[in-house]
Amino acid sequence: MGSESKNKSGDSGGGATQGIPAAMKKLVQNLKEIVNCTDFTEQEIYEVLRECDMDPDRAVERLLAQGCAIYCLLFYLFAMYFC
């Protein structure tokens, strides 16, 4: 069951985006840009997005809480205020 995707992408970062549907890749890339943190792979961001019922606002909040918190929070607040 879970081994099929592991066999395709393995644990290396090379195939990290294979599990992300094509329709979601742009959203994941946008979230990665918003969070602006190199600690997260696109696959990790997609998993958080799924955990948040595909709600990008909740996913950003959770990602900010998990990594680079102060810098990401400032960037997010700046973006929200000026956009």
Give per-residue pLDDT as tens, 5-23.
433 334 444 444 468 999 8
pLDDT in tens, 55-64: 999 999 888 8
End-to-end alpha carbon distance in the chain: 43
**What predicted TM-score, i.e. pTM, was given to this entire model?**
0.60
Asked whether the beta carbons of 49 and 27 are under 8 A apart, the reply is yes
pLDDT at residue number 34: 85
Asked whether the beta carbons of 60 and 32 are under 8 A apart, the reply is no
**pLDDT at residue 42 greater than cutoff 60:** yes
